[in-house]
Amino acid sequence: MQRLIDAFINSVRAFRKLAAHEKAFQQELLLLALALPAGWFISVSWSGYALLIGAVLLLIMVEVLNTGIEAACDAISREFHIDIQLAKDCGSLAVLISIAIAGGVWAIAIIERLTGAPI
């Protein structure tokens, strides 16, 4: 049980640090705050709502992992290194893919709401 408590404390510390200092994380938290009520009106079912919010949470999760990759790379060296650049670029690509997934899920939900027919 102590491991779970320690993990929770570590997670809260990371959340506070990211919320205070990482602009992308702050923007995605704002997006989540907007998505919670918007998704309620856009979705046509509980599962649809869960999918909309899950897509935003996936985006936030990938952003957290990307920030972790960047922090680890910076801890190793701040000088240019081709492998470090690749690691950081891959993290950035993962965020871009998650943005495309979230955008696609929301676009489909909005189209379904506007047309009244499932896609």
Q: Tell me which residues are annotated as active site.
A: 63
For residue 58, what are its two tokens?
């996936």
Q: Pick from 93, 67, 78: which is nearest to 15 by CA?
A: 67
Give the integer Cα–Cα distance in Å for 104 and 18: 26
* All residues at 6 or more sequence positions from 26 whose CB lies less than 8 Å from its CB, including other chains: 19
For residue 28, what are its two tokens?
């995605």
At residue 22, the 3 state secondary structure works out as coil
Please work out, in degrees rounded to the nearest 5, the angle formed at the alpha carbon of residue 107 by the alpha carbons of 105 and 109.
Answer: 70
